[in-house]
Amino acid sequence: MASSPTADASMFLKGVTASAVSAEGVAPAADWSTWERDGRAPRSSDGAGLLTDFRDDLQQFVALGCNAWRVTIEWARIEPEPGKVDHDALDIYRDVLAFAREVGLQNWITLQSTTLPGWYLDDEGGHCDEDARGRYWLRHVDRVAEVFDEFATGFVPIDDPIGWAVRSYGLGSRPPGRKDRVGLRDAAEGAVHATHEAIRLLSSGRQQLMTAWRADPIHALAEDDGRVSLEATQAARGWENLFWAWLRLHANGVLELDGRAPVDMPLFVNAVDHVGIVHDHPIGIGPDSGFAPWPQGARASGSGLAPEPAELAEALHRVSEALPDHSVVVAGHGVNTDDEAWREHLLARTLDHVREAHHDIGLAGYFHDSGIDGYDWKLGFARPRGLLSRGRARKAAADTFADWSV
């Protein structure tokens, strides 16, 4: 039996991510599976094939110098119907986590990333419904905490909860595919409530807790004459207030969304061990409130936006200044591209900034997203994010990552 993990607070977390959708493919009972069947999304197959090759994969992560990884336990896979638990799926995850511990990796378990069970979202209202959160979401949280207690170093309740709400209810690019400003704020508040409620439940255990928030700097785009319009400024401010609401939340324990009454959520102040940020690129906002590369004309990744390592450094310093008493981790960072030379160039610059942030502000960790090329919810397999190819070939960026330390 694997020994219970003990996290060393002084150890810099160097790791990779393996979200369920990317690493395993979409679970048949997940909300996303309907979009695949209807042709609204690329087919995911088995993603990166993690559940088949996990022993070799985990040993390759160790060879990259990793001491940790962030992995999703896919809710729709272990509870495909309400109250019906797939014990075979639990056993597979148990084998994966046990072997990770055996080879020296800390298991940072994410409880939701990208998808939800279709029955929870469509039939029960998902995170927007308080009763559904209390009855079903917290049952999932409790089950994962109990079943994987001996293997878990830490838990991440939801990956990018506000970003999940934006894509699902604001941009319509993820299930349920809505574009509704009121629904967006309902979903954002519900997802943050779900995160807070999970923290309340998990804080009674001995594992560490990490959040994972979208931390992309927001910039109003200039017109051709260099002038920034009032409309673009106001639109950028609106997105800024939404995407970065979590920063005030960790500082004072109050969720403040435009047009909403403040909501007390005190556990974000003192019950979280690491404030995690996920970052890929800055976001330029035009007068129509749409997203565009920033600066204008910069080279865009497969996301349609332009990665810039200095913007990660800016985000880290902003978080450190606002939350001087909190430990900060880069919980996910990567780029969608098939240009491996560009990936390596960006990663080398990024890691320079990460090292500086470790020495300047005490940055506690960096997780590259992802370890292996997998499925992307929008791009399929076209513009991968991994350090290793889907065929497990080691890329130039992998060598850069392996040779790097703080």
Query: Does 4 map to a domain?
Result: no
| Rounded CA separation 31/75 (Å) | 11
pLDDT at 6: 52
- pLDDT at residue 1 is higher than 50: no
Is residue 32 within 8 A of residue 167, CB to CB? The reply is no
Query: Does 98 map to a domain?
Result: yes
Amino acid at position 103, single letter: V
| Rounded CA separation 240/85 (Å) | 40
Mean pLDDT of 381-385: 97
pLDDT at 286: 96
pLDDT at 5: 45
Is residue 357 within 8 A of residue 321, CB to CB? The reply is no
Residues 6+ apart with CB under 8 A from 321: none
Place of tokens 């995170």: 127
Q: Is 318 exposed, middle or buried (0-12, 13-18, 19+ CB in 10 A)?
A: middle
Measured on CA atoms in the order 272, 278, 282, 284, is the torsion positive or negative?
negative
pLDDT at 256: 98
Q: What is the pLDDT of residues 10-38, one digit of tens each?
A: 799 999 999 999 999 999 999 999 999 99
Query: Does 46 map to a domain?
Result: yes
DSSP 33-74: HHHHHTTSS---TTTT-HHHHHHHHHHHHHHTT-SEEEEE--
What are the CA-CA distances from residue 321 to residues 16, 154, 255 (Å)?
Answer: 26, 25, 19
- pLDDT at residue 358 is higher than 60: yes
The CB density around residue 38, as the number of other CB atoms within 10 Å, is: 8
Is residue 13 within 8 A of residue 367, CB to CB? The reply is yes
Nearest of 189, 167, 188, 191 to residue 179 by alpha carbon: 167
pLDDT at 153: 99
pLDDT-based confidence at residue 167 (cuts at 50, 70, 90): very high
What are the CA-CA distances from residue 189 to residues 85, 132, 192, 383 (Å)?
Answer: 28, 14, 5, 32
Is residue 193 within 8 A of residue 257, CB to CB? The reply is no
pLDDT at 126: 98
| Rounded CA separation 24/1 (Å) | 25
Query: Does 5 map to a domain?
Result: no
Query: Does 267 map to a domain?
Result: yes
Is residue 185 within 8 A of residue 259, CB to CB? The reply is yes
pLDDT at 7: 66
Give percent of the chain above pLDDT 70.
98
Alpha helices in 70-225 (DSSP H): 75-78, 87-102, 118, 130-132, 138-147, 161-165, 181-202
Tokens read off for 195: 């995160």
Query: Does 7 map to a domain?
Result: no
Query: Does 396 map to a domain?
Result: yes
Residues 6+ apart with CB under 8 A from 353: 309, 310, 312, 313, 316
Q: What is the DSSP letter of 169?
A: I
Please state the domain count of the chain: 1
Q: What is the pLDDT of residues 109-133, one digit of tens each?
A: 999 999 999 999 999 999 999 999 9
Q: Is the peptide bond before 295 cis (omega within 30 degrees of 0)?
A: yes
Cα 97 off chain centre by: 19
**CATH value at residue 111:** 3.20.20.80
pLDDT-based confidence at residue 2 (cuts at 50, 70, 90): very low
Nearest of 21, 47, 17 to residue 32 by alpha carbon: 21
- pLDDT at residue 226 is higher than 70: yes
In the Cβ-directed half-sphere of 196, how many Cα atoms lie within 13 Å? 22
pLDDT at 10: 79
The CB density around residue 199, as the number of other CB atoms within 10 Å, is: 19
Instruction: Give, rounded to a whole angstrom, the gap between the first and last alpha carbons of the chain.
Output: 32
Give the mean pLDDT of the chain. 97
| Rounded CA separation 61/388 (Å) | 9
Give the structural domain span for 106. Answer: 13-403
pLDDT at 143: 99
Query: Does 149 map to a domain?
Result: yes
Cα 55 off chain centre by: 23
Is residue 392 within 8 A of residue 53, CB to CB? The reply is yes
Q: What is the pLDDT of residues 201-223, one digit of tens each?
A: 999 999 999 999 999 999 999 99
Tokens read off for 276: 């995690």
